[in-house]
Structure 1
Amino acid sequence: MVPSRRPTPAGNVPPTDTTARSSAIMAAGTLVSRILGLVRVALLATAIGTAGAVSDLFPAANNLPTYIFLMVAGGVFNAVLVPQIIRASQQEDRGSDFVSRLMTLSVIVLFILTVLITLAAPFLADLLTNVSGDALALTTVFAYWCLPQIFFYGLYSIIGQVLNANGSFGPYMWAPVVNNIVSIGFLIAFIVMLGAERTTGHTPDTWTPTHTLLLAGGTTLGIVIQAVVLIVPLRRLHLGLRPRFGWRGVGLGKTGRLASITIVTMLIGNGLYMINQWVATIATEARTDLPDDVYIAGLTNLDIGSLVYVLPHSVIALSLATVMFNRLAAAHSQGDVETTKETLSLGMRTIGVATVFGAAALLALAAPLGMVFSGGIRAGGALNALIITLLAVGAPFLSANFFLNRVFYAAEDAITPLKIQLILSVTGVALALTASLFEPALIVPMLALSFTLGNIVAVVVSHVFLVRKIGGYGAGHIYDVHVRLTVAGLIAAAFGAGLLWFFGAYQPDGFVWQSVGSAVVVLLVAGPLMAGVYIGMLKVLRITELSDFLAPLLSRFARR
């Protein structure tokens, strides 16, 4: 099929207004998805709790496909393939032949990989958790249901990167919305039909196939649909894609070499996450010997804290970095080092506007945030709040390190990220194993603290390697802006802490701790007021990056 018009080659640097629009569309999709994701997590906490007999077992199994996919394929799809697809899109056939062969090979490899890993579910469940007996048996059942997600994560990722490389950024960020809607529907059915943790108290002994179908089956179905819906916008590109075999002489050799290095990098990095999960489930196993009224933080509390603290990164930093990655890749292909530096500096400063406020908000609002994801159980909310507080400081560093590493991948340099990951993984493993030496009640809080320390170390290490590669990129200017952003954030956080005192956050029976609904009310009141104080301080401190951050959103409202 011949397209009605030839789109602008993806390798060209998009104009500023196009980048702004793309960032806004992606940020909007991610924001909606994250909001629904938070609703899903809150419902999951209501369904199985955050510190109960089953609370950590499902996350332990459901994390496996994510970790395994990222280890063996995620880095390849999300970083290595984009420059290759962009280059192919500049050919006469708009990359049809290359992408067809690439997708055919990817689907075959993903299918074989998924089948083999799913068959290994009992081994993986035993290896990667510290639970035993009935808890291990239930975790294994969950793993059988969840591991097929690997194939659909891969399908979603490869189609999404083809769309991104051809300038279609929205669908990739909006597809998870459908996933979350499906999952939410199944969780509501679970709560209505089988009862909430607060009233029922689910255990491995009382668990039935219906429980598994609604919980694990609904989750996996959401991932399936998330991938399948991207086929529609892919067809609208009119690339003429079809299954094509034979991979010699089409340029996949270089991709394979880069991919092999990236796989090693991701194996090391995500292997660390698995070690963290293994350490966290030491606390999970210890719960079986505790009285019913004694709660300690476990894997679910760590997962909830991690989900909340990455929100600024996921909603703003990831969206902006994904769009700017194409500009970085195009600048590299043209040998334009100055554009690379300018894009990096602007991105780091602009992202900081959101991530610094995110850290301040997490610190001030940890109590109501923790309670929202507690399933209405006050002790669980307090544990969540503790973990969120320990993770909050690392939020800006997480985004900064991610953006720094995009420069290496845009330059098709997979060796340097591998070196960086080796250093960070050694540091992370040491911190995780140190956490495992503490008494069970302190293991997960110490893991959360290790995440924050690891993010700070990551920025320092990545900066050193990047300066060696491209020279100075205005780090002093970036640092100066972040110092002023931090001042604004601390003032906003102090204001938020005052509001939380008013709502009884520092009293065991205060309004914040009464219910999930009361926590939501506090967030709706305190969050916008804190944002207003923060924006006011940015203007007082003359931080012009606020305009760069708001421009995409304001331009969309103006057009409407």
Structure 2
Amino acid sequence: MSSAAAARNAENAAPGAPSAPGRVSAARASAVMAAGTVVSRVLGLVRTALLATAIGASAGVSDLFSYANALPNFIYLMLAGGVFNAVLVPQIVRASRQPDRGADYVSRILTLAVAALLVLTVLVTLAAPVIIEAATRFTDGNLTLATAFAYWCLPQIFFYGLYAVLGQILNANGSFGPYMWAPVVNNLVSIGALVVFLSLMGAEQAEGYKPETWTPAHTVLLAGGMTLGVALQALLLFLPLRRLKLGLKPTFGLRGTGLGRTGRLASVTIITMALGNGLYFVNLYVATIASDARQALIEQGRPARIAGLTNLDIGAMVYQLPHAVIALSLATVMFNQLSAAYAGGNLPEVRAVLSRGLRLTGVATVFGAAALLAFAGPLGMLFSESPGAAALNGIIIAILAVGAPFLSANFLLGRVFYAGEDVKTPLKIQLVLSGVGVVLAVIAGVLDPRFIVPTLAVAYSLGNVIAVVVSHVFLTRAIGPYGAGHIFDAHVRFAVAGIVAALAGTAVSWAFGGYDAGGYLWQSKFHAVVVLAVGGVVMGAVYLGMLKLLRVAELGQLAGSLQALVRGRS
């Protein structure tokens, strides 16, 4: 969006109405959200570890459930996620300046979203057999069980969408905490369901689950428990929403609300998300080729040392931890600041917010990447039923770790376009990225099954790097120089500190037998936790020491954010 357009938006706003973002301390809000995300992600790791214990990471049922459980989130993001997460916030921020604090607009948005999500969810769930058969390489009993999982998991689409739109309404009104803390409930419910599953049904190592030995009771406990967690995550947001006292009520109709303009923005965003998630869909399909080959070896009683879809999912979850804990929390607050700056036609502030966000995020994400590289083995052990499966997980985690800082950087760059209501440029960027991604996925698909998933992991990391370069080129044209040289210099320092810390972590892993097949590390999950705890402390101390030695100013800024949080609580 141009400066002139931003100025017109400012003129259209109600005079004297303070925006919600302006009333919130960015440091405190980010810290509160980061705390919620940390708790949620820790519980998510526990949930994934229990899931690996329950059905394995490279066993007969794991890939079937992984695909079905990933499908609703993928379909939601492809068809509606971009609208809820990128387009609505600037609209709600603008509406909040109206005399009714945007109550009529938000009521109409919420009513429309619930109706659309309900129709979408019912149609997709009814089409589960067609979707699973067309989108996977599963056959016979594998196809039947994957379809059964899908029937129980696809209703999550409705609740993912409800959670997103309620969360964005809360965020736009300065209530950031609930959106980040609600997933804690989701993880607790899922953990409870897995504990019940393990108690009643037994673990993979003892039972050796296969499609022919799997029962409807197994499906209800496993898939039903996961869907219940997602549902409660969304429904709980109605409690903080009521505290906003907006007077929301079911309201139908679009005239006079500006929803037509929102729809035009949304239509382009839907195409962008469809392209991006279409690429993910291609990757899922290619990964099922490896999963199918592994399943064939399992049925023949042969060693199945092939990374499949579950290993890729575990690797993706682990490598996204630094991004989820820091970048998402910071970006949520930063997005509102950017939207407000654009609305006031203040491009210097837009550039300043972006530069600061990229540098502060880099402090954490570079360390996260270094830690993932150093401890890929013990991390893989946490989510495996055997050392062999742990090695497969570790390889994928290590490959993905390289692209972790770029994932967060590109996410922040993309927020700038959406804050300025520029939905066409992200579409152009996604066209480039999807083209590259499809080529890499096709290459992976023709390889030996042993190399398919590792190649997909390489494609993920390479795609993150390319995305930053392409986004930077487009963004510089849109807002001018935003201090990329300063940002690059800061990241070089972060990288030097991270390399030294990674060497220290690698030494700890070696000392605990990480490079010996019979070493201490590989004997149990508890041993892996010990290595991670000791190594994490050592790496953290070395990283902080190196940052101080290199005089990294961003370290002090992060410390200031923590102090602001403490003062706020006091």
TM above 0.5, yes or no, is yes
Tell me the CA shift for residue 426 of structure 1: 0.5
Is the aligned partner of 1:383 residue 2:356? no
TM score, norm. by length of structure 2: 0.95
Q: Mark the runs of 5 or more structure 2 residues left unpaired by the alignment.
A: 1-15
Residue 465 of structure 2 aligns with which residue? 456
SS at match of 2:384: coil
Tell me the CA shift for residue 319 of structure 1: 0.2
| CA distance in 2 between partners of 1:209 and 1:256 (Å) | 42
> Which string of whole-angstrom CA distances, capped at 9 and with x for unpartnered residues, describes residues 45-64 of structure 1?
00000111101000101111
| CA distance in 2 between partners of 1:434 and 1:80 (Å) | 34
SS at match of 1:56: helix
Q: How does 1:346-385 map to 2 (within 5 A)?
A: 346-375=356-385, 377-385=386-394
Q: Which of 391, 400, 417 is 2:426 aligned to?
A: 417
Paired AA for residue 172 in structure 1? Y
Q: Which of 418, 423, 435 is 1:426 aligned to?
A: 435
SS at match of 2:60: coil
Is the aligned partner of 1:145 residue 2:155? no
CA contact (8 A) 1:9 1:166 kept: no
Tell me the CA shift for residue 198 of structure 1: 1.1
Is the aligned partner of 1:49 residue 2:49? no
CA contact (8 A) 1:14 1:327 kept: no
CA contact (8 A) 1:179 1:222 kept: yes
SS at match of 1:242: coil
Q: How does 1:173-192 map to 2 (within 5 A)?
A: 173-192=180-199
Tell me the CA shift for residue 437 of structure 1: 1.2
Is the aligned partner of 1:467 residue 2:476? yes
Residue 525 of structure 2 aligns with which residue? 516
Residue 163 of structure 1 aligns with which residue? 170
> Which string of whole-angstrom CA distances, capped at 9 and with x for unpartnered residues, describes residues 419-468 of structure 1?
00110001111111111111001100111011000000000000000011
| CA distance in 2 between partners of 1:100 and 1:12 (Å) | 20
> Which string of whole-angstrom CA distances, capped at 9 and with x for unpartnered residues, describes residues 326-368 of structure 1?
0000000000000000000000000000000000000001010
Is the aligned partner of 1:87 residue 2:94? yes
CA contact (8 A) 1:309 1:395 kept: yes
CA contact (8 A) 2:17 2:97 kept: no
| CA distance in 1 between partners of 2:179 and 2:329 (Å) | 11
| CA distance in 1 between partners of 2:316 and 2:227 (Å) | 21
CA contact (8 A) 1:351 1:549 kept: no
| CA distance in 2 between partners of 1:56 and 1:9 (Å) | 50
Is the aligned partner of 1:547 residue 2:556? yes
| CA distance in 2 between partners of 1:286 and 1:160 (Å) | 41
| CA distance in 2 between partners of 1:288 and 1:409 (Å) | 43
The runs of at least 4 aligned residues of structure 1 exceeding 6 Å deviation read none
TM score, norm. by length of structure 1: 0.97
CA contact (8 A) 1:276 1:447 kept: yes
Paired AA for residue 379 in structure 2? L
Q: How does 1:65-144 map to 2 (within 5 A)?
A: 65-144=72-151
SS at match of 1:13: helix
Is the aligned partner of 1:536 residue 2:545? yes
Q: How does 1:326-337 map to 2 (within 5 A)?
A: 326-337=336-347
Tell me the CA shift for residue 551 of structure 1: 2.4
SS at match of 1:10: coil
Tell me the CA shift for residue 287 of structure 1: 1.4
Paired AA for residue 346 in structure 1? R
CA contact (8 A) 1:134 1:204 kept: yes
Tell me the CA shift for residue 210 of structure 1: 0.8
Q: How does 1:459-498 map to 2 (within 5 A)?
A: 459-498=468-507
Tell me the CA shift for residue 395 of structure 1: 0.2
Tell me the CA shift for residue 190 of structure 1: 0.7
| CA distance in 2 between partners of 1:12 and 1:390 (Å) | 38
SS at match of 2:338: helix
Aligned residue pair count: 551
Structure 1 residues 12, 499: closer, same or farther in 2, change over 3 A? closer
Tell me the CA shift for residue 136 of structure 1: 0.6
Residue 242 of structure 2 aligns with which residue? 235
Paired AA for residue 373 in structure 2? L
> Which string of whole-angstrom CA distances, capped at 9 and with x for unpartnered residues, describes residues 32-90 of structure 1?
00000110000000000011110100010111100000011111101100000000001
CA contact (8 A) 1:344 1:403 kept: yes
Q: How does 1:260-409 map to 2 (within 5 A)?
A: 260-290=267-297, 291-375=301-385, 377-409=386-418
Residue 4 of structure 2 aligns with which residue? none
Residue 4 of structure 1 aligns with which residue? none
Tell me the CA shift for residue 14 of structure 1: 4.5
| CA distance in 2 between partners of 1:287 and 1:478 (Å) | 44
CA contact (8 A) 1:118 1:147 kept: yes
Tell me the CA shift for residue 249 of structure 1: 1.9
Tell me the CA shift for residue 550 of structure 1: 2.8
CA contact (8 A) 2:265 2:421 kept: yes
CA contact (8 A) 1:279 1:443 kept: yes
Paired AA for residue 496 in structure 2? V
Q: Which of 222, 226, 239 is 1:219 aligned to?
A: 226
| CA distance in 1 between partners of 2:544 and 2:461 (Å) | 26
SS at match of 2:552: coil
Q: Mark the runs of 5 or more structure 1 residues left unpaired by the alignment.
A: 1-6
Paired AA for residue 157 in structure 2? I
Paired AA for residue 126 in structure 1? E
Structure 1 residues 339, 14: closer, same or farther in 2, change over 3 A? farther
Paired AA for residue 432 in structure 1? A
Paired AA for residue 529 in structure 1? V
CA contact (8 A) 1:26 1:319 kept: yes
| CA distance in 2 between partners of 1:394 and 1:135 (Å) | 33
Paired AA for residue 361 in structure 1? A
SS at match of 2:507: helix
| CA distance in 1 between partners of 2:72 and 2:509 (Å) | 38
| CA distance in 2 between partners of 1:101 and 1:405 (Å) | 27
| CA distance in 2 between partners of 1:128 and 1:31 (Å) | 34
Paired AA for residue 93 in structure 1? D
CA contact (8 A) 1:13 1:331 kept: no
Tell me the CA shift for residue 416 of structure 1: 0.3
Tell me the CA shift for residue 8 of structure 1: 7.5
> Which string of whole-angstrom CA distances, capped at 9 and with x for unpartnered residues, describes residues 176-224 of structure 1?
0000000000001111111111111100000001100110000000011
SS at match of 2:342: helix
Paired AA for residue 236 in structure 1? R
| CA distance in 2 between partners of 1:34 and 1:532 (Å) | 22
| CA distance in 1 between partners of 2:159 and 2:296 (Å) | 39
| CA distance in 2 between partners of 1:243 and 1:289 (Å) | 52
Is the aligned partner of 1:503 residue 2:503? no
Paired AA for residue 295 in structure 1? R
Structure 1 residues 551, 434: closer, same or farther in 2, change over 3 A? same
